[in-house]
A and B are shown apart, each in its own frame.
Chain A
Amino acid sequence: MARLELNEKEKKMYAEQLSVVLDYVEMLNEVNTDGVEETCQVTGLEDVVRSDKVEECPPDVEEKIIGNFPEKLGNLLKVRAVFSEET
């Protein structure tokens, strides 16, 4: 899920480091949180909306976005096939 390529040496190193961190955060279990609400955000704002209007992308910005494509064919973004024959 993390989509990271790791070699065996890295796997061992991260496994050790992550265990230390996960052991450390265990200390939260000391805290009684029965009946406590979760905090997802701190602003108290609710139902923040904006008008649903399409904004045109200026041509020079469009050009810059396309300029950042790692691989392209004309103005199209080139990517590897999503489906392969084997799967």
Chain B
Amino acid sequence: MSSALNKLTIQQAHDGLKKKEFSSVELTKACLARIKKRNSELNAFITVCEELALDEAKKADEMIKKKKPFDGSRSKQKMLLGIPFCVKDAICVAGARSTGAAKILDNYIPPFDATAIKKIREQGAVLLGKNNCDAFGHGPSNENSMYGPVKNPYDLTKVAGGSCGGSAAAVADNMCIFSIAEDTGGSIRQPASFCGVVGLRPSYGRNSRYGIMPMASSLDTVGPMTKTVEDAAILMEIMAGRDERDATTVGDKSIKSVKSIKNLRVGVPREYFESEGMDKEVKKIVEKKIKSVETHRNASIKIIDVSLPMTKYAIPVYYIIVPSEDSSNLGRLDGIRYGVRAEADNLYDVYAKSRAVGFPEEVKRRIMIGTYALSAGYYDAYYRKAQKVRTLIIQDFNRVFEQVDILLTPVSPFPAFGIGEKKDDVLAMYLADVFVGPAAVAGLPAISVPAGKTKAGLPVGLQIIGPRLREDLVLKFASLCEKTK
């Protein structure tokens, strides 16, 4: 069995460790062996912490031997003890180099854990390393990483998606048991769809963002990328909750409060299927999946056609609000207190040169768009206008959630595209987020679950969007969708 330990889910690994079928060191070594075999090809990791991982695994094994960490109710058990995981590089982890996939932080070792990671590590999870991503989460293809693109495990000529391409590829290729990632406008869901794994963007405010490299503060969320919906729920229970260090966090922890999803009214918004550039095969796979859910024997699901007419405005809203907040947040990266400082004679040149060599093109584009959109005279026309349209997008969802309990849509209009295919077309790249942007702009929870594969063998995801703070409903329903064929 030991050769396949890396393929286990959190629940399976937990059960195996509990029954002493294998040790955490064996489990960790299986993941490290897979990383060694595959990372040079996939490029899913920027940093691998082999020594640290084995050390943490040894400690976990000692704890399993001496204490009783698995006793008691599930909320008291150390569910993650001894389980190897990885983290998107734009999230700070104490003692592990965290570059955010940009050279300006090439040598940065955070002195602290992000709150979400602290909670995971307090459970005794074993850190394997840091996942490649688009620099600071900017992009849907992982090609904006200064450490090279991540390749799709299903086809090495295709992108893994972005921004969390490394996390998605690592989970899909069984280089880890799970990964913790970050979703601002689709960064968890879209790569999850491209790589055939489960990826949950929680409601805005559900999990603390303290310690993530902030991108767009009014949209950023931290969420899990896993092999099953059950695993995503386990991680959400651990990460969710109020944090003094993130004033947007809500205290309510009802991740699993819903008991039954019988007689659920499920909305299918037509705008998500009539979009320009929609791949016919993707449309068919998603429609077939929805049909399979509808006809599921015990669920009595009612599918209802709905309309979200503001859908097409989510991307233009996104590409004003996000670069604006990006440009402000990235002001802290100037080569002064940490990171890589360029040689220059005066202070201004230190800033300008450090940022010129330390940021990739997309980061620079966003800083320029954002600085422009926020500048005096343009603020009303761009940022304020976008914030008003954002209100209308939220109202659009509120109205639909009076008719239905949950929404089903595709995650992406197309399967994973070729590496380099969209690289020079900025707008085409931005439009890849057309179906994942709206829920992000509205702060809603949304998950990507595998729906099927194209004839060429590329995974396609189904997106489930729920009302705010209804992760319980989203997860319960996702688990049903996971089961239907």
Contacts and interface: CB of A to CB of B under 8 A. Distances in A.
B75 to A, nearest CB: 25
A52 to B, nearest CB: 12
A18 to B, nearest CB: 6
B367 A68 contact: no
Q: Is the interface of B mostly helix, strand, loop or mixed?
A: helix
A4 to B, nearest CB: 5
A20 B344 CA distance: 33
B67 interface: no
B392 interface: yes
Interface in A44-58: 45, 48, 50
B316 interface: yes
B344 to A, nearest CB: 7
B248 A64 contact: no
A82 B368 CA distance: 24
Interface string A1-39: 111111000000010011011101101110101001111
B319 A25 contact: yes
B57 to A, nearest CB: 23
Given A42-B442, A61-B112, A68-B337, A33 B385 contact: yes
Nearest to B357: A5
A29 B316 CA distance: 11
Contact of B248 (A38, A45, A71, A81): A45
Q: What bracket does the count of chain A residues touching chain B fall in?
A: 35 or more
Interface stretch (B187-195, B347-355, B449-457): B347-355
A39 B391 contact: yes
Contact of B347 (A61, A67, A82): A82
A74 interface: no
B384 interface: yes
A75 interface: no
Interface of A: 1-6, 14, 17-18, 20-22, 24-25, 27-29, 31, 33, 36-43, 45, 48, 50, 61, 64-65, 67-71, 77, 79-82, 84
28 contacts: A2-B367, A3-B352, A4-B356, A4-B364, A6-B364, A21-B365, A21-B426, A21-B430, A24-B427, A24-B430, A25-B386, A33-B392, A36-B388, A38-B384, A39-B388, A39-B394, A41-B218, A42-B204, A42-B205, A42-B442, A43-B443, A50-B244, A68-B339, A70-B340, A71-B341, A80-B344, A80-B347, A84-B346
